[in-house]
Chains A and B, each alone.
Chain A
Amino acid sequence: MNIFRIIEQLSEVDADVLGRFDSRRAVFKTLGTTAKRGALASAPVFLASLFQKAYGQGTKPTVIEVLNYAQTLELLEEDFYKKMVAAGQVPAGAPKGAIDLILKHETAHVKLLDTTIRALGGTPVTGVKFKTSAFPADYTTQLVVAQALEDTGVRAYKGQAGNLMGAMAGTTSLLQVALQIHSVEARHAAHIRTMRMQTPWIPAADSALAAPLGPVYTGAIPESNTTQSNVDITKLGAGYTANDAAASFDEILTMAEVLDASRAGGLVQP
């Protein structure tokens, strides 16, 4: 393991990576000490904590970083639906109409984010593709992946709302735009779930599903969560089932959770 190689690779995608570490010189001091102690056996764990310090809580991503993260997911979705249309297995009629409409929305999101990132002086992410080897051969499984992508999208946008508070592009509130996309992704998710004969909303049980769906509904705050701001929703008023309590609130995924290999991160063509 070569930490400097890792940082070098990171700097290719994150120009500010050295800045992040430099402002935390103490971390490097510890690194030296740890190395001297010959504690390299624990290097992966140590590295994880090092990156947690550089990228973890307290390091608020810039607006451009948030928008490029959103763009990564939109490009992934757009390419997935393009592949789905190209594969030609979507039944004609309502299913084809739905997939075409969703693709049209994703393309509009990509265009809007691209324009916005440029307008803010940033460099938009391009070329994100859905991993060819992960593309399902049959329509039924394609819909499973579509559900995974849409429900991930809803959770991902929700997770960035706080990071876009007050962010503007001219007179346009970027938080509002993100919430407007967030609602459209939720409409997509609901419809795809319905196409799969699932409830349009997410029951508690989905957090226990097998991959690729299960991980979409887990995380630090899983979709099975029934407690909001320390209030046990199942005990509100007349009392509710865990499924109702969980389905009434959608939960966030953090950037790191979404980009993890078990979720959307594992669906990007390397």
Chain B
Amino acid sequence: MQRRSFFRVAGATVAASTLVLAGCGTDDPTPTTPAAGANVLTLAAGEVGLLNYAYILEQLEAAFYQKVVDAPPADLRAGEKEALTELRDHEVIHREFLKFALADKAIGTIEFNFSSVTFTTREGVFTAAKKLEDLGVAAYAGVGKLLSGSYLALLAKIASVEARHAAYVRDALQPNSFGTPDAGIIATTGDYAGLNVALTPAQAMAAAAPFLNFTVDVSQLPTT
């Protein structure tokens, strides 16, 4: 019965906790938070690992926009500072919500490496934002099939908001690029025409690697 308190959020109602109970394996271990100096973060098996995977991405986005808002580039256009502040707020909300949901299963607070980002120009900011948002959208598109019902419903609510963010920052960087096929975001021909790219956790963590000071081991996450 200790599974009932596994995740605070979805366990909040009787109906949801049934799904949680059904969705949790019997041996979901506690996630490993990287110790000081350790260079590998191993995500736990099952939904704890999957939610922590999403939590990494939300921490990354929130930390990025926080840095932008703390010292906005001087060449931002009208309304962009306000929009970037809203983006920061949305990502912090996602981060805090996942942290609350994971409770004592949440990994620790991550220090990111933003040395590749030019924070002093709007082009630098929106270039990085595009990379992070497109990554988030593709990661959520790929993780859905690995989740149980209650978490699928919750993460799908976040997924489309990330897609809205992606469209906004892409348009800011280059007008009308909300859905253009560059970098394979949305194919226009072939079997995957009209579909957003979906990334596996391994692919998404590889794409996030430049921002991380450690490697994320996703080998214990479900793959189907």
Contacts and interface: CB of A to CB of B under 8 A. Distances in A.
Interface stretch (B111-119, B120-128, B152-160): B152-160
A269 B90 CA distance: 38
Given A165-B149, A248-B94, A111 B163 contact: no
B215 interface: no
Interface in B1-46: 9-10, 12-13, 16
A154 B196 CA distance: 13
Given A201-B90, A250-B160, A228 B97 contact: yes
Given A175-B144, A231-B9, A250 B154 contact: no
A112 B160 contact: no
B100 A230 contact: no
Interface string B69-111: 0000000000000010010011011101100110000000000
Nearest to A201: B164
The size bracket of the interface on B is 35 or more
A104 B153 CA distance: 28
A158 interface: yes
B145 interface: yes
B149 A248 contact: no
A248 B93 contact: yes
Nearest to B101: A229
Interface string B115-152: 00000000000000000000001001110110001101
Interface residues of A, number: 56
A87 B161 CA distance: 31
B164 A189 contact: yes
Interface stretch (B49-57, B168-176, B203-211): B168-176
Given A183-B141, A187-B178, A237-B96, A247 B161 contact: yes
A149 to B, nearest CB: 15
Contacts of B164: 186-187, 189-190, 200-201, 250
Interface string B172-199: 0001101110000010100111111110
B166 interface: yes
A154 B12 contact: no
B82 to A, nearest CB: 9
A230 B198 contact: no
Contacts of B186: 105, 184, 187
Given A182-B159, A191-B167, A236 B96 contact: yes
A73 interface: no
A248 B86 CA distance: 9
24 contacts: A105-B179, A107-B194, A161-B156, A179-B144, A179-B145, A180-B192, A181-B195, A184-B195, A184-B196, A186-B160, A190-B166, A190-B167, A190-B168, A200-B165, A200-B167, A201-B164, A230-B12, A231-B9, A231-B97, A236-B96, A248-B89, A249-B158, A250-B157, A250-B160
Interface of A: 94, 97-98, 101-102, 104-109, 111-112, 154, 158, 161-162, 165, 173, 175-177, 179-191, 194, 199-201, 228-231, 233, 236-238, 240, 244-245, 247-252
